[in-house]
């Protein structure tokens, strides 16, 4: 790829005209947002909405991206002045756009002071997060794991940045979690408070008064970019883009309207600002993400590599359908404009997108952090109503096989922050595994404890 020049500010006039449409004076924009976890998802979602809001005339919402440890994205995007392309792919073709909202990337472990300075800058109003489920440093019971949080997590930066703002008499910030956690804003608020109560109690009252933590539902399927994707982008734009993102045409963002101060006009470019995100978030986590994890473990077990292959497998599709329509949807009190049956059908279509090579192994990682809000809370609600969840029990059985190492020969060792605990349990017998995880006082008791009937059905499913 060394033959083509790199995408950067200097090269913008070399781009095909269609890509540079609706331009705005990028260099004149202040940075109103600091984002933690500048991976592919953020770049396909919040950064893309923010860019479009600025293209419509909104101002000063440049993004300072932060990677906590890995220099990979900084190395990709800083030489490109933060610019990258986003290509949406479907059976109808590919469409490439330029995204201009990201201005620079900081690596927190290399330059912590720059991160704190960005948080404490007067032009910063919002901090967004896509640090994945495990980035919140929660113990199994959901409380803050303080020793873990003390090791280069988001919390010390938040605490030090907010402390400086308080000292300087600056207003507070909106801290917006964009991760797939149930009640993500409430969780972030509770965890930040727990950290600050332990490490800087004098700041607690200021945070309570000045900061807000809205909940959000974020949705866009974003596979990891491959070399082949980067090659296709280079052919399309004539420049090399090391930060290229490939995604689906669909995107959704529902945000609780609860900000501490200014916010971008994201609602002018498709985001929905609502009073209660709950029903959207529940449907997304239990139906989309619940189906995704099911496709991942059952699909890998059946020898598939991609989501679109697994959803096409007649042995898997009916289970995913049942999980969404019969097990998850009845536990959700839909908002007035939400039709959960239509949602399930649309999700099956999105999963079947043949132009998106979304790897099942990408979804299979960190299962212990994902299954509580994707499967266990659904199980818990159904159990309370006396209803069985055979599809979720089958999915749990496939997860156990994954943990046991059944997919390791092809896909490598299990990636999960709880692997030391879970792998030996998965290798023990079915009843022991079920009891240790889901019995009285089990590892996942914070989300669900099986009653006698469900325990019997689960052990049966695990033994199959
Ligand atoms: C996926 C999600 O990797 C995973 O666990 O289920 O990243 C999913 O693609 C997004 O939440 C879609 O919005």
- Ligand 1 nearest-atom number relative to CA 370: 5
Q: Has residue 369 got a pLDDT over 90?
A: yes
Tell me if 28 is assigned to some domain.
yes
Q: Higher model confidence: residue 37 or residue 16?
A: 37
Domain identity same for 214 and 334? no
Structure confidence at residue 376 as a pLDDT band (50, 70, 90): very high
Domain identity same for 248 and 361? no
Domain identity same for 63 and 179? yes
Q: How far is the CA of 221 from the centre of ligand 1 (A)?
A: 6
| Beta-carbon count within 10 A of 414 CB | 20
Tokens read off for 201: 């109690």
Domain identity same for 146 and 90? yes
Tell me if 3 is assigned to some domain.
no
Q: What pLDDT is stored for residue 19 in this prediction?
A: 81
Q: Higher model confidence: residue 464 or residue 224?
A: 224
Ligand 1 pocket mutation, candidates 134, 182, 221, criterion most atoms within 8 A of CB: 221
Q: Has residue 236 got a pLDDT over 60?
A: yes
Q: Rounded CA gap, 289 and 388, in Å?
A: 20
Q: What pLDDT is stored for residue 21 in this prediction?
A: 60
**Residue 45 CB–ligand 1 contact under 6 Å:** no
Choosing from 274, 290, 319, the residue where a domain stops is: 274
Q: What is the mean pLDDT of residues 343-371?
A: 97
Q: Rounded CA gap, 220 and 216, in Å?
A: 13
Q: What pLDDT is stored for residue 20 in this prediction?
A: 66
Q: Higher model confidence: residue 16 or residue 213?
A: 213
Structure confidence at residue 398 as a pLDDT band (50, 70, 90): very high
Tell me if 294 is assigned to some domain.
yes
Q: CATH number of the domain at 371, please.
A: 1.10.1040.10
Tell me if 232 is assigned to some domain.
yes
Domain identity same for 267 and 283? no
Q: What pLDDT is stored for residue 17 in this prediction?
A: 82
**Residue 133 CB–ligand 1 contact under 6 Å:** no
Tell me if 92 is assigned to some domain.
yes
By residue count, the chain amounts to 464
Domain count for the chain: 2
Domain span holding position 56: 9-274
- Predicted TM-score (pTM) of the model is 0.97
Domain identity same for 348 and 216? no
pLDDT tens figures, 298-356: 999 999 999 999 999 999 999 999 999 999 999 999 999 999 999 999 999 999 999 99
Domain identity same for 303 and 183? no
**Residue 400 CB–ligand 1 contact under 6 Å:** no
Tell me if 351 is assigned to some domain.
yes
Q: What pLDDT is stored for residue 140 in this prediction?
A: 86
pLDDT tens figures, 185-198: 999 999 999 999 99
Choosing from 236, 259, 274, the residue where a domain stops is: 274
Ligand 1 pocket mutation, candidates 180, 360, 395, criterion most atoms within 8 A of CB: 180
Ligand 1 pocket mutation, candidates 287, 363, 372, 416, criterion most atoms within 8 A of CB: 363
Q: What is the mean pLDDT of residues 126-151?
A: 96
**Residue 200 CB–ligand 1 contact under 6 Å:** no
Structure confidence at residue 22 as a pLDDT band (50, 70, 90): low
* Residue nearest to ligand 1 atom 9, measured at CA: 221
Domain identity same for 239 and 311? no
Q: Has residue 1 got a pLDDT over 50?
A: no
Tell me if 1 is assigned to some domain.
no
**Residue 219 CB–ligand 1 contact under 6 Å:** yes
Domain identity same for 245 and 363? no
Tell me if 4 is assigned to some domain.
no
Average pLDDT over all residues of the chain: 97
Q: Rounded CA gap, 394 and 379, in Å?
A: 12
Q: What pLDDT is stored for residue 152 in this prediction?
A: 93
Domain identity same for 200 and 284? no
Choosing from 208, 242, 274, the residue where a domain stops is: 274
Q: Rounded CA gap, 358 and 293, in Å?
A: 12
Q: CATH number of the domain at 228, please.
A: 3.40.50.720
Q: How far is the CA of 289 from the centre of ligand 1 (A)?
A: 6
Domain identity same for 53 and 127? yes
Q: What is the mean pLDDT of residues 253-274?
A: 98
Query: How do 62-67 and 84-90 pair as beta strands?
Result: unpaired
Q: Rounded CA gap, 306 and 299, in Å?
A: 8
Q: How far is the CA of 245 from the centre of ligand 1 (A)?
A: 15
Q: Has residue 6 got a pLDDT over 70?
A: yes
Domain identity same for 56 and 91? yes
């Amino acid at each position: 790829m060394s033959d083509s020049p790199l995408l950067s500010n200097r090269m913008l006039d070399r781009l095909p005209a269609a890509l540079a449409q609706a331009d705005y004076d990028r260099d004149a924009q202040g940075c109103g947002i600091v984002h933690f976890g500048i991976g592919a998802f953020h770049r396909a979602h919040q950064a893309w909405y923010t860019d479009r809001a600025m293209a419509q005339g909104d101002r000063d919402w440049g993004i300072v991206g932060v990677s906590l440890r890995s220099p990979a994205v900084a190395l990709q995007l800083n030489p490109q002045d933060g610019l990258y392309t986003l290509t949406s792919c479907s059976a109808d073709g590919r469409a490439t756009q330029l995204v201009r909202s990201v201005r620079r990337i900081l690596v927190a472990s290399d330059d912590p002071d720059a991160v704190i300075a960005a948080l404490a800058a007067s032009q910063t109003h919002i901090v967004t997060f896509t640090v994945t489920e495990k980035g919140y440093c929660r113990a199994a019971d959901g409380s803050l794991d303080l020793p873990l949080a003390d090791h280069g997590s988001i919390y010390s930066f938040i605490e030090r940045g907010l402390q400086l703002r308080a000292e300087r008499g600056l207003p507070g910030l909106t801290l917006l979690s964009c991760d797939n956690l149930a009640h993500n804003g409430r969780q972030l608020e509770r965890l930040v408070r727990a950290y600050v109560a332990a490490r800087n109690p004098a700041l607690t009252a200021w945070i309570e008064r000045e900061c807000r933590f809205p909940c959000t539902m974020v949705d866009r399927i974003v596979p990891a970019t491959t070399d082949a994707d980067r090659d296709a982008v280079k052919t399309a734009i004539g420049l090399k883009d090391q930060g290229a993102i490939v995604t689906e045409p669909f995107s959704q963002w529902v945000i609780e309207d609860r900000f501490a101060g200014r916010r971008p006009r994201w609602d002018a470019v498709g985001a929905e600002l609502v009073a209660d995100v709950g029903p959207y978030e529940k449907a997304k986590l239990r139906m989309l993400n619940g189906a995704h994890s099911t496709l991942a473990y059952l699909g890998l077990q059946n020898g598939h590599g991609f989501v679109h292959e697994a959803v096409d497998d007649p042995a898997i599709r009916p289970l995913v359908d049942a999980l969404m329509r019969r097990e998850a949807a009845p536990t959700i009190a839909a908002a007035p404009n939400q039709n959960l049956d239509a949602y399930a059908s649309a999700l099956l279509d999105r999963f079947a997108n043949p132009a998106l090579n979304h790897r099942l192994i990408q979804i299979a990682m960190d299962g212990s952090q994902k299954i509580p809000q994707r499967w266990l809370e659904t199980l818990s609600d159904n159990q309370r109503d006396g209803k069985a969840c055979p599809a979720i029990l089958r999915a749990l059985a496939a997860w156990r096989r994954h943990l046991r190492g059944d997919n390791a020969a092809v896909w490598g060792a299990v990636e999960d922050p709880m692997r030391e605990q879970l792998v030996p349990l998965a290798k023990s017998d079915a009843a022991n595994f079920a009891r240790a995880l889901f019995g009285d006082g089990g590892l996942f008791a914070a989300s669900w404890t099986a009653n006698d009937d469900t325990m019997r059905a689960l052990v049966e499913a695990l033994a199959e």
